[in-house]
């Protein structure tokens, strides 16, 4: 069995409020990805959020996904 870990640059390591719907989605996505992979980074979360934005029809969920994506992108260090 491999050790599951979250990249230190992950939005989960920034300590957002637990009651925020965007943070809940990020946590849900991270747990889902960790069930399939041993490590999750911001790129994985961003890709999953974009995929959900492309297929979702519910405007409320779309707003939550956009908010979550903004959180991840704003807390992702730029590549040099």
pLDDT tens digits along 4-53: 455 545 545 444 444 489 999 999 999 999 999 999 999 999 999 999 99
> In this predicted structure, what is the pLDDT of residue 1?
37
Of residues 22 and 1, the one with the higher pLDDT is 22
> In this predicted structure, what is the pLDDT of residue 18?
41
Of residues 79 and 75, the one with the higher pLDDT is 75
3-state secondary structure the chain: CCCCEECCCCHHHHCCCCCCHHHHHHHHHHHHHHCCCCEECHHHHHHHHHHHHHHCCCHHHHHHHHHHHHHHHHCCCCCC
What is the topology classification, in CATH, of domain 5-74? Answer: 1.20.5
Question: For the chain, which residues make up each domain, given as ranges?
Answer: 5-74
- Rounded average pLDDT over 56-80: 90
């Amino acid at each position: 069995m491999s050790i599951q870990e979250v990249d230190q640059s992950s939005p989960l390591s920034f300590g957002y409020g637990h009651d925020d719907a965007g943070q809940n989605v990020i946590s849900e996505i991270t747990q889902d990805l960790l069930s399939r992979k041993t490590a999750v980074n911001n790129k994985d979360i961003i890709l999953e959020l974009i995929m959900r934005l492309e297929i979702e029809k519910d405007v409320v969920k779309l707003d939550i996904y956009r908010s979550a994506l903004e959180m991840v992108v704003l807390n992702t260090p730029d590549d040099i």
